[in-house]
Amino acid sequence: MIKVLVVFAVTAGLFGTSRPLSASDAPQSSVRPPDDLNALEALAEKCHSILIAPVFESTPEEIQKTVDDAIARANREYDAIGKLTAGQVTFANAIEALDDIDSRLEQIVGRINVLQEAHPDPAMREAAFDATQKLQEWSVGLDYRKDVYQAVKAFAATNPQLAGEDERLFKDTLRDYKRAGLDLPEAKRAEVEKWRKELGLLENTFALNINGASTPVPLAGEELAGLPEEMLRRLKRRNDRYIVDANVTFEYEAVEDNTTPEATRRKLYLARDNRARAQNVPLLVNVLQHRSDIARALGYDSWADYRIEDRMAKNGATALHFLENLKERLEPKFRAELDQFKRIKAATPGQDTPDVNIWDWRFCAEKLRQQQFHVDAESLRGFFPLERVLTGMFGVYERIFGIEIREVKAPSKYVNDLRLFAVIDRKSREPLGLLYMDLFPRPGKFNHFANFPLVWGKLLPDGVYVRPTTTLLCNFPPPDQNGLALMSHDDVVTIFHEFGHAMHSILTEAKDIRFSGTNVPTDFVEAPSQMLEYFAWDKSVLDGFAADYRDPARKIPAETLSELKRADLATKATFYRRQLAFGILDLRLHSSPAPEELAHLNDFCNGILGQVFLPPDPGTAVIASYGHLVGYDAGYYGYAWADVIAADMASVFEAAPGGYLDEKVGSRLRNEIYARGNSRDITISIEKFLGRQPSVEPFLKKVGLQ
């Protein structure tokens, strides 16, 4: 039952306080860990663990052979389990063996998935896509191996006396076979299997169409009035026109935030929200119908109920009620923010309409920050050179988690600027895992920010622990002609968030891959990383690395950061109402939409978005590029759900003597949340970290509702 959990970033500005960081606060180590990968691998072996730096396939033929070999081996291993008699079956040779197979398969799946999303060669991406589709279709068949299911049921019939993670693994394995439909009549079971295989192809194609979308928009210089000179220099030129790629997030956001002519913002918006429209709108109708059919065949009212059953919310109605309630709580503040935006737009030349349109909100929010709070997001870039941010962020995580992070030479790369880092425990000196970072955009590359696991933590039968390896795919502004890459403060928030996912993967101590790292309920998985976003708003944390690259002695003034926090709070309702719009849309799409809604799917979706946020232009189809509908389907609500948990967790750091740099709280975060993964009920882990029952009060305070 293989899967790849891709953890996306949807970040929002948050805030908090703590004490200043001094030079003596830096992590101290008397022994510098080796930066040679071979030496690290040898050290891991001494610690009874395995460190794996994957060798990426370099040709389409290698991709095909890798997948064919993996499938052949797994088939043999499944056959062996299926042949076990009732008297032979044990926890080790059936239940644990299935998790062992998954562990090996996920190393292939993760690697091929990264090649599909990020390889610079279109032929390699296409080969990886074909391989991923082959793996997915084959893996669906694994769920319907009746011989293996009989072995699992035979073990269940022995009434095994298990405890802890072993008991959890057994119960979840048995449940998964039932959720796949193994107890259905043969004809219905075969139909569900067929639908699931078809669904896998549809989903892969949907994602590939988004990544492959080409949306260059040629613009004259006067159309880009207001865009900072630094950004203008970065844009490609064709004759006398600048070329803005609406599919490249940082280019799109820079134009939407800063360009004064409304016509330009609308032009970019129309290009971005029509990506893959012709292919993906009809494709999505097919996806939704397949999901609804599968859910109903399995006895669920909707795909949302099926997907959410094993998450914190438990069902679609609970998740939808949560979003609707938060939407209503935000209504007065949202309307007040829109009124401010309207006044700002009315006072700005170059606007075509008096209304605040969906292509205006980012521009108006940025103007509000500049005019009312005297915050210029672009001017803050000078404080955040990328390399300095990375080094400083590493120092923060080193301190709170008791680790060291060192760059090592990657033995295999799929692109030249791919970088590899090792994470080492500061006390034991044990290598804990590896992290690849692919930082900059390229044509055909996944165009957002996400964590892609390559190797999951797993305890082998011989007692050796396989340490995790993961990859961050990012799209930060690349270095300019002078080699300087400057990040916005939003970028800093994003990298803190994404690196949190990487740490969640690497710091695991779970025995089984099923519970390892970010293999936690989808409506919790974002919470630790959303909590770590608060660090990027803290003066003491920022003073550890944020400095003007022209004058490193110059830090971000306290009053500037204070105004930045106030500006962030001033538009918080707008941010959340947009997020809630996509969350409600996601749940409505997966709550068995009526035939007439599917027949007019784009109008149905635009209507929901307009009710909750701002009306989309009738000529757009944002659902065609709503990538979360694949992999995070019926799960987007989890961002807001997890935000409530994240604010509560952040309040623990805020109350600690060391603030956000408190090592005792950091150790508790590592041991009670990251190390545990999903090896116990996640609510227990949350309460262990908090030291109390969860509360919604910190979140309400953070968003200005108290």
Task: Please state the rounded mean pLDDT for residues 491-506.
Answer: 98
Containing 587, the helix (H) or strand (E) segment is helix 572-589
460 exposure class (CB count in 10 Å sphere: 0-12, 13-18, 19+): middle
Residues 110-152 have pLDDT tens digits of 999 999 999 999 999 999 999 999 999 999 999 999 999 999 9
The pLDDT assigned to 1 comes to: 54
Residue intervals in the chain for CATH 1.10.1370.40: 7-52+382-571+638-702
Containing 199, the helix (H) or strand (E) segment is helix 186-211
Is residue 6's pLDDT more than 70? no
Cβ contacts of 195 within 8 Å, gap of 6 or more = 290, 293, 294, 297
Please say whether the beta carbons of 293 and 195 come within 8 A. yes
pLDDT band with cut points at 50, 70 and 90 for residue 5: very low
Please say whether the beta carbons of 223 and 259 come within 8 A. yes
CA 79, CA 209: separation in Å to the nearest integer? Answer: 37
Q: How many CA atoms lie within 13 A of 626 on its CB side?
A: 25
**Residue that has been written with the tokens 């009549």 in this structure:** 185
Lowest model confidence (mean pLDDT) among 15-19, 311-315, 630-634: 15-19
DSSP code of residue 551: B
DSSP code of residue 294: H
Dihedral angle of Cα 430, 467, 128, 412, to the nearest 10 degrees: 20
Beta bridge partners of residue 431, listed in sequence order: 424
Note the Cα 660 to chain centre separation in Å: 23
Q: What is the largest CA-CA distance in the chain?
A: 81
Residues 256-287 have pLDDT tens digits of 999 999 999 999 999 999 999 999 999 999 99
Lowest model confidence (mean pLDDT) among 34-43, 123-132, 296-305, 589-598: 34-43
CATH 3.90.226.10 correct for 7-52+382-571+638-702? no
Read off the tokens for 688.
Answer: 């262990």
pLDDT band with cut points at 50, 70 and 90 for residue 7: low
Please say whether the beta carbons of 475 and 437 come within 8 A. no
pLDDT band with cut points at 50, 70 and 90 for residue 12: very low
CATH of 60-210, one of 3.30.56.10, 1.10.10.10, 1.10.1370.40, 1.20.1050.40: 1.20.1050.40
Residue 297's nearest CA partner among 199, 196, 192, 194 is 192
Give the sheet arrangement for strand 419-425, strand by strand.
Answer: 7-8, 450-455, 469-473, 431-438, 419-425, 403-408
pTM: 0.90
Task: Please state the rounded mean pLDDT for residues 675-694.
Answer: 97
Residue intervals in the chain for CATH 1.20.1050.40: 60-210
Residues 382-421 have pLDDT tens digits of 999 999 999 999 999 999 999 999 999 999 999 999 999 9
Q: Give residue 398's identity as a one-letter amino acid code.
A: E
Beta bridge partners of residue 243, listed in sequence order: 218, 236
Is residue 98's pLDDT more than 90? yes
The pLDDT assigned to 268 comes to: 98
Determine phi and psi for 354, rounding to 5 degrees.
-80, -20
C-alpha separations of 652 from 145, 214, 234 in Å: 47, 45, 42
- Other CB atoms within a 10 A radius of the CB of residue 592 amount to 20
Read off the tokens for 617.
Answer: 């232009």
**Residue that has been written with the tokens 């935006």 in this structure:** 341
Residue 674's nearest CA partner among 506, 511, 472 is 506
Helix, strand or coil, per DSSP, at residue 413: coil
CA 606, CA 540: separation in Å to the nearest integer? Answer: 43
CA 545, CA 391: separation in Å to the nearest integer? Answer: 8
Beta bridge partners of residue 551, listed in sequence order: 548
Instruction: Give one DSSP letter per residue of 159-188, joined into a string.
Output: -----HHHHHHHHHHHHHHHHHTTTS-HHH
Which tops the pLDDT comparison, 702 or 15?
A: 702
The pLDDT assigned to 240 comes to: 87
Please say whether the beta carbons of 624 and 284 come within 8 A. yes
Beta strand 241-245 pairing with 419-425: unpaired
Q: Give residue 191's identity as a one-letter amino acid code.
A: E
Is residue 376's pLDDT more than 90? no
DSSP code of residue 95: I
**Residue that has been written with the tokens 């309702």 in this structure:** 573
CA 697, CA 700: separation in Å to the nearest integer? Answer: 5
Residues 470-483 have pLDDT tens digits of 999 999 999 988 89
Containing 431, the helix (H) or strand (E) segment is strand 431-438
Quote the mean pLDDT of the chain: 93
The pLDDT assigned to 351 comes to: 96
pLDDT band with cut points at 50, 70 and 90 for residue 2: low
Beta bridge partners of residue 559, listed in sequence order: none
- With vertex at residue 233, the alpha carbon angle to CA 227 and CA 239, rounded to the nearest 5 degrees, is 100
Task: Please state the rounded mean pLDDT for residues 347-357.
Answer: 96
The pLDDT assigned to 212 comes to: 87
Cβ contacts of 476 within 8 Å, gap of 6 or more = 250, 386, 439, 440, 485, 487, 491, 495
DSSP code of residue 315: S
The pLDDT assigned to 378 comes to: 83
CA 39, CA 671: separation in Å to the nearest integer? Answer: 27
CA 598, CA 605: separation in Å to the nearest integer? Answer: 10
Beta strand 49-50 pairing with 465-466: parallel
In angstroms and rounded to an integer, the radius of gyration of the C-alpha atoms of the chain is 25
- Please give the share of the chain, as a percent, with pLDDT higher than 70: 95
Please say whether the beta carbons of 204 and 211 come within 8 A. no
CA 530, CA 352: separation in Å to the nearest integer? Answer: 37
Is residue 25's pLDDT more than 70? no
Residues 658-681 have pLDDT tens digits of 999 999 999 999 999 999 999 999
The pLDDT assigned to 450 comes to: 94
Dihedral angle of Cα 83, 89, 92, 96, to the nearest 10 degrees: 60
The pLDDT assigned to 34 comes to: 44
